[in-house]
Amino acid sequence: MPKPTVYYQRLAGKVAIVTGAGSQGEGVGTGKAIAYQFAREGARVCLVDQHPERAEETLRMILADGGEAFVAAGDVTRDEDCARFVEDSVRRYGALHILVNNVGVASRALPYEEYPPEQWNRILDINLGSVFRMCRHALPHLTANPRSAVVNISSTAGLQGMGSGPYGPSKAAMVQFTRDLATHYGGKGLRANTVAPGHIFTPLVDGLLSEELRTRRRRIAPLPIEGDAWDVASAALFLASDEARFITASCLAVDGGVTEVAPLTAFDLVQG
C-alpha cells in the first residue's frame, strides 16, 4: 500500500517502544513503518535497533514530519539492554503504553539433522527470547496504565509448515506466548495481540527473491497483490490503538488471504 498521508492522532498521549525500528538496505521495513506511523498518530516512540545508523534514519523521517522519538541502540538478546530501553523510555516520557516486538531474523532451510545447535538456539533467542525479555521489563510500566498494549510481529511461517528451520517454530511460539500474555495480564488492562505478515516485500527480502518467485507469491493468494511494510504497520497500529479495545489474544494474518487457501486450490492457481 502507499505510504499513508492522513492521520487521526489515534495514539495521542501514548508512549511506545518499537524494536527493530531501522530498515536494512534502501526502503522501508516493517519496524521503520510501524515506528513512523505510530509517531504520526501522536505517540512518542523509542526506536530500538542494534544498528543505530538505521534507527537514526527512521528518526530523521519521523522528525521531518513533526513526530517525536529517540534512538536507543542495543541488543535485544542482552537482558540489561532490554531493561535500559524501557528505563530510558519511562525516564524520558514518564510512562509506557505500547510495546511492539518486531525484531526477527530468518534461518536457512536445512534438514534438522544438519542444523548446527548454536544457530538453532540463536534464532530462538532472537525471535522469541527477545519478546520475553522486553515484556519482562516493560510489564510493570504497561500494567500501570489502564489501556496498554503489546503487539508482537510473528509470521505466517508460524501458522503453517514452511520448512523454515527454527524460524517457523520460533514464530509459532511467539503466537502462543502472546495468548498467554493476554490471559495473565488482561485483568490489569493489558491487551496482547500478534500480527503475522506473509508475502510481504521489504528491504530485508529485496535481492533474495527473483521476479519469478515474487510473481508466484502474488498468484498464490486470493488477493493477487504483494504486501509491504505499510500493510503490516497499519495492522499493528489498529491493534495498538483504543479502536481495538475489545481485541486481545488474537493473531491477525496480513497475507492477502494465503493462509486460508486450500493447498489444492493454491496449486491450481499457480499452475493455471
Going by pLDDT thresholds of 50, 70 and 90, the confidence category of residue 177 is very high
pLDDT given at position 251? 98
For residue 132, what are the contacts with CB-CB under 8 A and spacing of at least 6?
177
If you search the block for the grid coordinates 544498528, which residue do you land on?
A: 51
Cell of 190: 493489558
Residue 217 lies in a domain: no
Q: What is the pLDDT of residues 87-113, one digit of tens each?
A: 999 999 999 999 999 999 987 778 889
Is the pLDDT at 56 greater than 80? The verdict is yes
| Percentage, residues of the chain above pLDDT 70 | 95
Catalytic residue among 36, 93, 167, 185: 167
pTM over 0.85: yes
pLDDT given at position 208? 67
Residue 35 vs residue 1, higher pLDDT: 35
Residue 220 lies in a domain: no
With beta carbons less than 8 A apart as the criterion, state whether 42 and 9 touch.
yes
Is the pLDDT at 269 greater than 70? The verdict is no
Is the pLDDT at 209 greater than 80? The verdict is no
pLDDT given at position 161? 84
DSSP one-letter code for 138:
H
DSSP structure string for 15-56: EEEEES-S-SSSS--HHHHHHHHHHHTT-EEEEEESSHHHHH
Q: What is the mean pLDDT of the chain?
A: 92
Q: What is the pLDDT of residues 179-207, one digit of tens each?
A: 999 999 999 999 999 999 998 887 777 66
pLDDT given at position 266? 67
Count of domains observed in the chain:
1
242 is in which domain, residue-wise? 15-208+226-259
Does the annotation count 167 as an active-site position? yes
Write the CATH number for 244.
3.40.50.720
pLDDT given at position 24? 83
Residue 213 lies in a domain: no
